[in-house]
Amino acid sequence: MLAQRALLVALQRCSGAAGFATGTLPALQQATPGAQHELFDGPLKALHRDRASRTPLSPDPLVDTVAERLLDRLEDCRRSFERAVVLGGSGAQVAARLAGGRAGIQEVIHVDTSEAMLQRARSHAETSTSGGGKPHAPTTYVHWRPGSEVLPLEPGSVDLVISCLGLHWVNDVPGVMAQCRHALKPDGLFLAAMYGGHTLQELRIACTIAQQEREGGVSPRVSPLAQVRDAGNLLTRAGLTIPAVDVDEIQVHYRDAVQLVEHLRSMGESSALLKRRQELPRSVALAAAAAYAGLFAEDGSIPATFEVIFMTGWAPHPDQQRPAQRGSATVSFEDLVKDFGEGGQGASSGTEGTSSGGSGGSTGGGSSPSAAG
């Protein structure tokens, strides 16, 4: 009985967790930068992040993995980035990994809709530096007014913009990305990681089954997330050049549905849809947990899939590489086949798992969530 009560309370408190699970960004291809798509309650999301900031900043197998894989892309760049912006989401984890002058960064502007999150990041940086860790670059903490789609950044003022797991709660994603491009100096770099449409697919399935069984239908509690095909469009329509998109699927294992939901709350991922149900009924919550365990439990734990879309783009610059003019090739594919394909078999490689943008292992232990990508 106590276990059932704990499960019910946890699921009801984060009744929007299922809404974080799937869907496509409506009319994304038709959107124009600056257009408003009022899907999310910005002030409510800021309150969720304020609440999440009360959780001490500690190792997180999901967030840490995503932040590491995103910032690994800086190692592929031959240039340095003196002035960087860290935009919302997992900003504290990103800022910590920029310490010590990584990628030549000398100044950081940390932007967030949650003042409490900014304070937590400031405290963590001070504690880390005073404790003998790598020194953090001088950092300015800027509050982005909740509900506003206008970034508090000056045009052409920064060399690097990093957004790690924050764009999926923005109403006007194309517009905000276009503003990021305008904030970049020529040949500045935009790096972003955002959740994709397969995120929490197990939880979505379990909640759908439970609602259909208990209520005879599915309520509109699903938060739209971008698909991979949307990401390339977002980069090009924001005016960024040399766009690159790749995808990782990271699977995190939890003890039970309570631990999954509490992890989502600690990341500030409760539902912020404008049209949302205020509470998950008791019968639906228990049925969803039972369906989740019945369908997906393995070796005493339940898996949760997080699809992460990584995006890279550059602010235009005259000296950047450009694609060759169509029809200007001097070597045909037939010649390439003859040169490289004759007398041997093509090599093939693969990794067991679901990562298409990189490889990863597993982290975590004990009763904490563990991730494998």
Judge contact between 166 and 88, C-beta under 8 A.
yes
Q: List strand residue ranges (DSSP E) for the chain, in order.
A: 83-87, 107-112, 139-143, 158-164, 184-195, 241-254, 302-314, 362-363, 370-372
pLDDT at 216: 85
Which of 17-21, 60-64, 123-127 shows the lowest per-residue confidence on average (mean pLDDT)? 17-21
Largest Cα span, the chain: 74
Is 354's pLDDT higher than 60? no
Which of 271-275, 347-351, 364-368 shows the lowest per-residue confidence on average (mean pLDDT)? 347-351
Q: Which one, of 75, 127, 132, 131, lies nearest residue 98 by Cα?
A: 75
Comparison of pLDDT for 296 and 5, the residue scoring more = 296
Share of residues in the chain with pLDDT > 90 (%): 60
Within a domain: residue 322?
A: no
Instruction: Kindly report the CATH number assigned to the domain that includes residue 114.
Output: 3.40.50.150
Comparison of pLDDT for 328 and 248, the residue scoring more = 248
- The residue written with tokens 């309650």 in the block is 41
Within a domain: residue 347?
A: no
pLDDT at 277: 65
Which of 105-114, 246-255, 321-330 shows the lowest per-residue confidence on average (mean pLDDT)? 321-330
pLDDT at 340: 79
pLDDT at 201: 92
Give the CA dihedral 62, 66, 67, 68, nearest 10 degrees.
Answer: 100
pLDDT for 179-197, tens place per residue? 999 999 999 999 999 999 9
Is 224's pLDDT higher than 90? no
Within a domain: residue 250?
A: yes
Judge contact between 22 and 197, C-beta under 8 A.
yes
Within a domain: residue 91?
A: yes
Is 159's pLDDT higher than 90? yes
Provide the domain count of the chain. 1
pLDDT at 225: 86
Range of the domain at 200: 2-316+354-372
Within a domain: residue 101?
A: yes
Q: Which one, of 368, 363, 311, 366, lies nearest residue 65 by Cα?
A: 363
Within a domain: residue 205?
A: yes
Within a domain: residue 342?
A: no
pLDDT at 337: 84
Is 14's pLDDT higher than 80? no
Within a domain: residue 335?
A: no
